[in-house]
Amino acid sequence: MSLTGRVSQIKITGPQNPDILQYSNAKLQLMINDSKLIIMLPPDNEIAYECYLNDCSYLEESSAPGTVECIHDRSKQDKWIIIDKQKGAVELLNYMRDYLQNRPPESDENVKQFIRALNDNKPDIASQIARLLAQNKTSIRLGLDIINESGNAPPAPPPEPVEKPLKLKLSIESYLINLCTDEQFEVTILPRTTINTLKQIVQTNVDIPSNNQFWYINREHLPDNYEFGVTMPTVNENTVLVLYISKPQNT
């Protein structure tokens, strides 16, 4: 069972992410059985980041329930800032907030961590938690996988590789800007994201119509079906992506 919703923006800061990770128009999925929270990006729901609520705490002083939700991932020392202006993930965020503020008893948490360690093939961690559960006389119910004819459980399929986001520089030019500026912004884009997707994100978040947006790399105009990391021209880390905003045409 899972809960899903779409939020306006997610920002993640932490020692492993010196540059703030920002995801706009992102889909959140919360797996109820193991409390995994997953960030998926349009258009193909690629997994960009994930954490477990079991490892998180709710930052009440930094949150505005219903609009801005802040959590701290203790395992990675990351801070998540989830902004839901359009109220597209109310049920998920309400569940997450209630879960973190009314955490289950510690014994239940230890059971979940024990099962997760078994699933992740981490015997040392599993044995440590098992000793703690034995001292507390905690009962555990485990389901067994169906075994094959040789008496061995079928191997789990290898995990899907997580694609590394492309880190680019964004320069914005517009008829609204009177003076030239060299200011550039750091952006993170997943491979195979199209220009059309970027146009829709900009239109949704800052109300700039897609037909007034023109995107360039090295002075080469990028069509709507251009895919980052796939289509020429190719991009590397710190490639400069230029967005030119044209003046609306009078009708």
Residues 217-222, mean pLDDT to the nearest whole number: 92
pLDDT score at 4: 93
Q: Half-sphere exposure (CA, 13 Å, Cβ side) for 93?
A: 26
pLDDT score at 128: 77
Nearest to 35 by CA among 10, 13, 72, 2: 2
Predicted confidence (pLDDT) per residue in 9-31, tens digit = 999 998 877 778 999 999 999 99
pLDDT score at 178: 57
| CATH code given to domain 2-101 | 2.30.29.30
Residues 118-133, mean pLDDT to the nearest whole number: 77
CA distance 24 to 167: 15
In angstroms and rounded to an integer, the radius of gyration of the C-alpha atoms of the chain is: 22
In this structure, what are the phi and psi dihedrals at residue 123, rounded to the nearest 5 degrees? -65, -35
Top-level CATH class of 166-245? alpha beta
pTM: 0.43
Nearest to 245 by CA among 210, 194, 197, 195: 210
CA distance 176 to 186: 21
pLDDT > 90: what percent of the chain? 35
Task: Collect all residues with Cβ–Cβ distance below 8 Å to 174 and sequence separation of at least 6.
Answer: 244, 245
Residues 72-91, mean pLDDT to the nearest whole number: 91
Predicted confidence (pLDDT) per residue in 188-197, tens digit = 898 999 999 9
The model's confidence at residue 226, banded by pLDDT at 50, 70 and 90, is: very high
